[in-house]
Amino acid sequence: MTRSVVSIVYVNDAPAAARFYGGLLNLSPSFETSGYITFDLGPGAELAVWSGQFEDLSPDVPRTGEVCLAIDGGPEELNATFEQWSSQGVTILREPHDLGFGLTFLAADPDGNRIRVAPRG
């Protein structure tokens, strides 16, 4: 049996969110409807943005989950990603800092969903 893990991010506008995530990850959607769009992240992993499940998601509502982008390259690559995202106007919730597993930073998408960038374990 083939298995895939799909991380779903609830958003207000799936096409707008897909443009945001596609730009950050330098990916094009692998599946697209008006309210549900996925990105193939590699064998067994996908990211989906899904709208219409909740009314008026607000960035002010506390979030209890994160999408984590695990990157190679060490602190230099993480800092370069931070600088690139900052220059693109991505909302930064916490600048690069060490949490014991390595340097990490925390950003948010336009709907307030958290995006952590951390080193690949």
pLDDT in tens, 78-100: 999 999 999 999 999 999 999 88
Q: Is the CATH number 3.10.180.10 carried by domain 63-121?
A: yes
For residue 93, CA distances in Å to 15, 42, 109, 120 come to 24, 27, 10, 21
3-state secondary structure of 96: strand
Question: Confidence class of residue 65 from pLDDT cuts 50, 70 and 90?
Answer: confident
| CATH classification (class only), 1-51 | alpha beta
Structural contact between residues 111 and 50, judged by C-beta atoms closer than 8 angstroms: no
- State residue 120's pLDDT score: 87
> Which residue intervals of the chain bear CATH 3.10.180.10?
63-121
> Which residue intervals of the chain bear CATH 3.30.720.120?
1-51
User: How many angstroms separate the CA atoms of 100 and 119, rounded?
Assistant: 11
- Worst-scoring range by mean pLDDT, 53-57, 90-94, 104-108? 53-57
Query: Rounded to two decimals, what is the model's pTM?
Result: 0.86
